[in-house]
Amino acid sequence: MDDTTQDPAELHTPVLLERCLELLAPVAERPSAVIVDATLGMGGHSAALLEAHPGLTVIGLDRDAEALALAGRRLERFGDRAILVHTIYDGIVEAVRGAGFERIDGALFDLGVSSLQLDEADRGFAYAQDAPLDMRMDQGVGPTAAEILAEAPEGRLRAIFERYGEEPLAARYARAIIAARAEAPIDRSGRLVDVLQAATPAAVRDQRHPAKRVFQALRVEVNGELVALERAIPAALSLLTLGGRLVAMSYQSLEDRLVKRELVSRSRSTAPAGLPVELPEHRPEFALLTRGAELAGDDERERNPRSIPVRLRAAERLREAR
């Protein structure tokens, strides 16, 4: 289904919008400020930032061509203050340089699958809707989920489900998929759900939907999300000017642990234990702006259920790296 004729503001409610605006306001108010929206989606966060800060330029990145088209319509009123780039977020350095900038004042990551991708049934992201098992955020690149299910050996399937879905029944599900694909292709979400349901003990089926973690794992594998994120967060931090800020919202524990690890490690002193005086080069590069991970409030959770799993973390550059 083509949603490019619809109003993006009606399709998407940005998560933790006011908190993101609050955290980024000090840098967005700088003269000629530049902020990268590394996961542009339908442009909700970017539109709010550009509206609130007339001197701001936003560089919006997204690998999904349909999302870029929708965001482009939403942001066209801001003219050349909105620069859209078709790339995944680990291409942030090239995108910033390609737009004519060396450094940035802020970066925003709203990770995971977008509302557009979840709501568009024929993309195959949602286990509750029968659709072709594609799951590619950029539909012009890489193998589909159906191709992985058709070709991957049992050991690889088990590893994908364990690593990216933290699925305790990974081995059982991998065996079931190998047996099922010998009878008929697993190329639709409904067929995969049926295979997983049949392989799940009744006691587990009563506790949770057996497809949730497997679908997450396949999506992460298809799109290389964690591999890209491992490169993207350090790259974004390296681009920040003194006082620049990074805000990241994660929707599953693997993303959040990766973001947390990078921000916490860059916000610690590197001085050797027992050193009587902390030398300037050992001082933390960054300071954490949140105490742990912040959650959406009760009102927002009720109003926008997709905010329920979000974990927000933020940091500010204190000094330049040496």
Q: What is the pLDDT of residues 240-294, one digit of tens each?
A: 999 999 999 999 999 999 999 999 999 987 666 666 666 666 689 999 999 999 9
- Lookup: tokens for 232: 């993207």
* Model pLDDT, residue 1: 40
Q: Would the annotation count 110 as a binding residue?
A: yes
Domain annotation for the chain: domains and CATH numbers:
8-116+225-317 (3.40.50.150), 121-223 (1.10.150.170)
Digit-coded pLDDT (tens) for 120-157 = 555 667 777 889 999 998 877 889 999 999 999 999 99
* Model pLDDT, residue 172: 97
* HSE toward the beta carbon, residue 304, CA cutoff 13 A: 16
* Model pLDDT, residue 181: 97
pTM: 0.88
The string of DSSP letters for 113-158 reads --HHHHH-GGG---TTS--B----SSTTSS--HHHHHHH--HHHHH
The backbone torsions φ and ψ at residue 57, rounded to the nearest 5 degrees and listed phi first, read -110, 135
* Model pLDDT, residue 207: 84
* Model pLDDT, residue 3: 47
Q: Would the annotation count 251 as a binding residue?
A: no
Expressed in angstroms, the distance from the first to the final Cα of the chain is: 50
Q: Would the annotation count 43 as a binding residue?
A: yes
Q: Is the dihedral of CA 287, 293, 298, 304 positive or negative?
A: positive
Residue 318: closest CA among 273, 258, 278? 278
Q: Would the annotation count 89 as a binding residue?
A: yes
- Lookup: tokens for 89: 């977020």
* Model pLDDT, residue 57: 98
Q: Would the annotation count 98 as a binding residue?
A: no
- Give pLDDT < 50 ranges for the chain: 1-4
